Amino acid sequence: MSKVQIREKSQITLPRQVMKDHDLHVGDEVDVEVRGGKITLTPTVSLDREILFGREDAAAGRYKEFNSAEEMIEYLHRPASERHRYGKR
């Protein structure tokens, strides 16, 4: 357990190791819950962060392009062994 101090404007600083262990970054959001005299912070998954991961996959070539929704649906219904893992095919 770590001890933190409440600062001006009701701000706290999470210990660096807590940030690292839970993959938290400046700007991430957390839910705050008060129950039974305890305050609990729970990280929330931000859509912006999920979009960022998608951009990283695209930059690394881990994507597939389709010309239509029908083409994509047909591709997804194929057995996994018949699908190309990544890249334009």
Where do the structural domains in the chain lie, given as residue ranges? 8-43, 47-82
What is the model's pLDDT at position 88?
46
Q: How far apart are the first and last CA of the chain?
A: 51
Q: Six-digit token pair at 36?
A: 């039974």
What is the model's pLDDT at position 28?
86
- Do the strands 30-35 and 38-43 form a parallel or antiparallel pair, or are they unpaired? antiparallel
- For residue range 40-63, what is the model confidence (pLDDT) as tens digits? 999 887 666 667 777 777 778 777
Domain 8-43 = CATH 2.10.260? yes
